[in-house]
Amino acid sequence: MKLVICPILSFCMIILSICPLFAQDFAQNTRYGRAEITHVAKKDFGTAEEQDIETVFSLRILDGPLKGVSKTVTFRGKDSAPQYMKYHEGDTVFIGENTLSQNGKTEIYISLYDKDNTAGIVVLAIIFLIALVAIARLRGITAFVGLGVTIMLLFYIFVPLTMKGFPPLISAVLISLISIAVTIPIITGLTKKSLAGIIGASSGVIIAVLLTLIVSVMIHLSGIITDELLTIFYVSNVEIDLRDVALSGMIISALGAVIDISVSISSSVNEICAVHKNITRAEAFKSAIAVGKDNLGSMVNTLVMSYVGSSIALVLVISLKYNSDMPLRMILNNNEVLIEIVKSIVGCMGMLAAVPVTAYAGTRLFCKASKD
């Protein structure tokens, strides 16, 4: 079995290393760095009718050629954001330095971005890794490595190819299948169990792809194209199929759940056949489906609630924007609501397809043919 899986892994690694060579980097005329806010001064120019506040930030550059140089950035307008969202004295923020030349003069304009939370991220990552190793031991580390592989595939294959104009849906399917072929053996080892999981998870992804294609025909484009996608359309230097990007998001969103359920069913069939040596394939398949039903119940709930949790701001907006006089179908057809509904259904359908396929593949691999 190792002779079967090892060529698959080798092929995936070759694809992973070659694909970025065809991607195109888009350079921007901005140099990024960090700066410390040394002072914040405000002056009110507003009237009784309109708020107009000028805020001057004094900065000390921490990175790049201008390290140690003091600069000021001025903002003027409304200042109604919550206090905890504002920049404060002593904060370290990311900045962008834009150099503009006009009439023989060179000016450097500073833009302020997010606060630097690197220290907090590192602390959280260390705590997470310690807990992962302490509880899950080696299996936890392999799961973390598998996650890293998927993230690399996303940022080093999908994103560069998409920004170059390569069809996003094809890229999404490609990285999903590679992620399955690499991640599952990392988690479960190079065994028959891995092969069964790969077969089941791949089938789930394929079913999800077919369902997304059906969705693209059934649903009007405005229902799945968000404001963020429109921004990509206007900012990008190449023509990107926004529909394919939206559909790709559905596939990638379902990937984790499909891999999870496939590994669970594959492990269950392996244990059933190992403990009950005389069990028939039909009996093992029936037992695996029974386990799959319980897993699906919890996984569907987890998947849907993860989408709802990530869109909690959208839920609040709906409660503020809509009133009881509006029909329910009008709310369901709101772009942001519709995309979450479709993503949930696609992800669940991928899991539903993966369960019987994984169970069948497992029974063929783990149970003896003579027992049929």
Residue 250 is part of a domain; what is its CATH number? Answer: 1.20.1640
Average pLDDT over the chain reads 79
361 within some domain: yes
Clarify whether residues 321 and 275 are in a common domain: yes
280 within some domain: yes
d(CA 184, CA 194): 6
Clarify whether residues 211 and 311 are in a common domain: yes
266 within some domain: yes
Percent of the chain, pLDDT > 70?
85
Clarify whether residues 237 and 88 are in a common domain: no
**DSSP string of 49-103?**
SS--EEEEEEEEE-SSTTTT-EEEEEEEE---S-GGGS--TT-EEEEEEEEEEET
127 within some domain: no
146 within some domain: yes
Instruction: Read off the pLDDT of each residue in 235-255 and give the average, rounded to a whole number.
Output: 81
CA angle 327, 216, 147 (to 5 degrees): 105
5 within some domain: no
Instruction: Read off the pLDDT of each residue in 167-173 and give the average, rounded to a whole number.
Output: 89
pLDDT value of residue 301? 78
Look at residues 244, 254, 174, 177 and name the one whose alpha carbon lies nearest to residue 215.
244
pLDDT value of residue 123? 93
Clarify whether residues 63 and 168 are in a common domain: no
Count the domains in the chain: 2
Last-in-domain residue among 115, 146, 162:
115
pTM above 0.85, yes or no: no
210-234 pLDDT tens trace: 888 887 777 765 545 666 777 777 7
When pLDDT is cut at 50, 70 and 90, the band that residue 324 belongs to is low
Strands (E), the chain: 31-44, 53-61, 70-77, 92-102, 105-115
Clarify whether residues 152 and 101 are in a common domain: no
13 within some domain: no
Clarify whether residues 349 and 223 are in a common domain: yes
State in Å, rounded, how far the first CA of the chain is from the last one. 22
Contact yes or no for 348/300 (Cβ under 8 A): yes
Clarify whether residues 111 and 141 are in a common domain: no
Clarify whether residues 60 and 145 are in a common domain: no
25-65 pLDDT tens trace: 444 467 888 999 999 888 888 777 777 888 889 999 998 88
When pLDDT is cut at 50, 70 and 90, the band that residue 337 belongs to is confident
**DSSP string of 5-55?**
HHHHHHHHHHHHHHGGGG------S-EEEEEEEEEEEEEE---SSS--EEE
| pLDDT of residue 1 exceeding 50 | no
Clarify whether residues 184 and 40 are in a common domain: no
Last-in-domain residue among 80, 115, 150:
115
Clarify whether residues 90 and 152 are in a common domain: no
287: domain range? 137-371
Instruction: Read off the pLDDT of each residue in 278-285 and give the average, rounded to a whole number.
Output: 87
| pLDDT of residue 140 exceeding 90 | no
Clarify whether residues 211 and 63 are in a common domain: no
175 within some domain: yes
Clarify whether residues 181 and 63 are in a common domain: no
